Amino acid sequence: MIRPLPKHIINQIAAGEVVERPASIVKELVENSLDAGATKITIAILDAGLTEIKIQDNGSGISREDFPHVFQRHATSKIEAIEDLETLSTMGFRGEALSSIQAVAQVEMMTKTKADTTGYYYNPYTEEIKPIAQSQEGTTIIIRNLFYNLPARKKFLKSHSTELSHITRIVEEIALVHPEIEFMYTSQERTVFHVLSGDSLSRVVALLKIKDTEYLLPVDSQKQNIQLRGYIGHPRISKRSPQYHIFVNNRPVLQPLLHKAIQQGFDTMLEVGHYPFAFISLHINPEEVDVNVHPRKTEVKFIDDKMVFSTVKYMVKDILQKSAFDIVLKPHTAPTPLSSVNIQSTPYSHPKNSYEMNRYESPSRVAEPAIPSYTPPQSSHPILSSIPPTMRDLLEPETQKPTYLHLFDTYIVYPNQQGMMILDQHAIHEKIILEQLMQADYNVQSQQLLFPIVHTVPQSEKELIIEVLSQLSGFEVDDFGSSEIIIRAVPTFLTKNQKTEAHIDTLIAIIIERGQTTDLEELRIELLKTIACKSAIKAGYPISRGEIEALIRDGAKTDFGFACCHGRPTMVQLDKDWFEKQFSR
Ligand code: ADP
Ligand code: MG
């Protein structure tokens, strides 16, 4: 017999989609507060949200006649017509959150609107309404005993510390894109963070552990209906784990597409296996994005994926080209007597920041409920205001027939327009080769070898090696008996120097080392980097004037020539004012 499901069961099923864990409740409730126009939001958590979640805001409040609708499924104040769906700028609209939450926890609400003279308490379960003393407009929602009626769901939750870290991440992300709103976040009645309304940089600094604001490159560009704002980290603060904080129309998203676009924007500036820091808020016309694809709204769908991808990639690239090299290039040292200047090893020592960085520790630690009083660091982005010179301007010698100094058979020193340029011959050469290889590799041409290379490999790894190599574009590889493989074709760039076999050795060694976890893209870049490093002139090697000039000419054609793939400088620029400072002029 077919019977319609009772309403509370329907709500519990729907709740399964929205309320995955305590953090999802926090997200929905804080978003409701944002939608209500709050300027201060307090989030108080007990036992990772299982015992209690209390969200208080100073938003519009909810009027009495709306009370029953608030907890009804598909009841929302945010959509009237279907067309609204496409242009919506509020966070919520499905009208599902509160009804779902109500189905899996005990809920209470206190609220007051501007029009009301008194506040009201409302319990959706008992439908009790009573007036309460509340002078401030706004809403407080208290969620208790999450999943009390669904013990099986409760068992699926992870440890308290894991659940709490999910909550922290959510609150942090929302706070990041809303620097204008004050957030107070506590756990077990202790402050985790309290941030006053302020500007974006102070919010990023207060919430994310960035030691040096000098390494934050501001993002503020507009192209193809896409606006990007935020900060990307100089390659020097890249890490072995992802540090992406991405938002689409103010909504935190986990969007592999955008992570990849950012990563590729960094191009050759990142070390293999390193991820950049990126706090990026992308704004796009709501019509060009579907936020409704994911019930918890953690991923969005762009109508034109490809366009978004390449726009983001090139915007990131552009910012790096325009500003990263200022940081890499210039010694940011305070005036120092010449005797203590060691240009090679300390070209950039940064002054300690004048504000306290670690107000926000890990969720379990208690931070001082101190209020950020943000004083911008004095030397932050000293050069960003000026128009950055191009690689060509930078490397161009001051005169037609310049004098080059070749120091320690490693550094090329010569006067340029701004002062004095110092190049590291190995680093710049490596970078030139790498960029050329990367360019060529985007449309890899394969070259049949006149004499195919037979290579002995460990038998146990043979299959893997053949599989990986043949997936790398340009290679043609076959099994050649017990523990041998035969390489019949290689990418053309590999045949351009005599070290083809040596490079193949390196490649095979990497595949054996990485085993099944070999990532093709990483392998490809690693191969190119190895080739570049091995083919570049060594440090401590005498070179001719012609070679010096070739390095300068080719360096001028690079995109990221100012930094090697570890984010270290390939060159250091000493401006006229640097000299003047040294001599206290
Ligand atoms: P949605 O946000 O998708 O509309 P919800 O279930 O989250 O659905 O909320 C239902 C309605 O309750 C909202 O449309 C809004 O009118 C009201 N509401 C919820 N929370 C608040 C709040 N903190 N302040 C004011 N109104 C609120
Ligand atoms: Mg909502």
pLDDT tens digits, one per residue of 205-263 = 989 877 778 888 999 999 888 999 999 998 888 888 888 999 998 888 888 899 989 98
Cα 253 to ligand 2 centre (Å): 17
* Ligand located closest to 94 CA: 1
Residue 62 near ligand 1, beta carbon < 6 Å? yes
Cα 77 to ligand 2 centre (Å): 10
User: In testing the pocket of ligand 1, which one of 98, 116, 143 has its CB within 8 Å of the most ligand atoms?
Assistant: 98
Question: Tell me, what's the pLDDT at 491?
Answer: 81
φ, ψ (nearest 5 deg) of residue 485: -125, 155
* Ligand located closest to 36 CA: 1
What is the maximal distance between C-alpha atoms in the chain? 96
Residue nearest to atom 12 of ligand 1 (CA): 70
List, as ranges, residues with CB under 5 A of the ion ligand 2.
32, 92, 97
Question: Tell me, what's the pLDDT at 370?
Answer: 34
Residue 76 near ligand 1, beta carbon < 6 Å? yes
Band of pLDDT at residue 92, cut at 50, 70 and 90: low
Contacts of 269 (CB under 8 A, 6+ apart): 235, 320, 324, 560, 563, 565, 567
Residue 124 near ligand 1, beta carbon < 6 Å? no
Cα 412 to ligand 2 centre (Å): 61
Classify residue 432 by its DSSP letter: H
* Ligand located closest to 88 CA: 1
- How buried is residue 305: exposed, middle or buried, by Cβ count under 10 Å (0-12/13-18/19+)? exposed
Cα 206 to ligand 1 centre (Å): 29
pLDDT tens digits, one per residue of 153-163 = 888 888 999 99
Q: Which residue has the higher pLDDT, 447 or 2?
A: 447
Residue 92 near ligand 1, beta carbon < 6 Å? yes
What are 64's two structure tokens?
Answer: 């009495």
Instruction: Go through 351-381 and write b for each residue having 16 or more CB atoms within 10 A of its CB, e for each that does not.
Output: eebebeeebbeebeeebeeeebebeebeebb
φ, ψ (nearest 5 deg) of residue 47: 50, 55
Cα 63 to ligand 1 centre (Å): 11
Residue nearest to atom 14 of ligand 1 (CA): 76
- Residue 532, number of CB atoms within 10 A of its CB: 22
- Answer whether residue 344 shows pLDDT above 90: no
- Measured between alpha carbons, how far is 525 from 533 in angstroms, rounded to an integer? 12
Residue 28 near ligand 1, beta carbon < 6 Å? yes
- Measured between alpha carbons, how far is 176 from 246 in angstroms, rounded to an integer? 10
Cα 180 to ligand 2 centre (Å): 20
Q: Lowest-pLDDT range, 40-49, 135-144, 172-181, 327-336?
A: 327-336
Residue 95 near ligand 1, beta carbon < 6 Å? yes
Q: What is the CA radius of gyration of the chain?
A: 29
Cα 41 to ligand 1 centre (Å): 15
Band of pLDDT at residue 512, cut at 50, 70 and 90: confident
pLDDT tens digits, one per residue of 345-366 = 333 333 333 222 222 233 333 3
Question: Tell me, what's the pLDDT at 377?
Answer: 35
Coil/strand/helix, residue 310? helix
Band of pLDDT at residue 375, cut at 50, 70 and 90: very low
Following CA atoms 316, 317, 318, 320 in sequence, which dihedral angle do they give, to the nearest 10 degrees? Answer: 90
Residue 57 near ligand 1, beta carbon < 6 Å? yes
- Measured between alpha carbons, how far is 542 from 442 in angstroms, rounded to an integer? 34
Under a CB-based contact definition with an 8 Å cutoff, are residues 74 and 82 in contact? no
Residue nearest to atom 17 of ligand 1 (CA): 70
**Distance in angstroms between the alpha carbons of the first and the last residue of the chain:** 95
**Ligand 1 atom with least separation from CA of 97:** 6
Distances (CA, A) of 28 to 23, 51, 96, 327, 536: 9, 18, 10, 40, 55
Cα 31 to ligand 2 centre (Å): 6
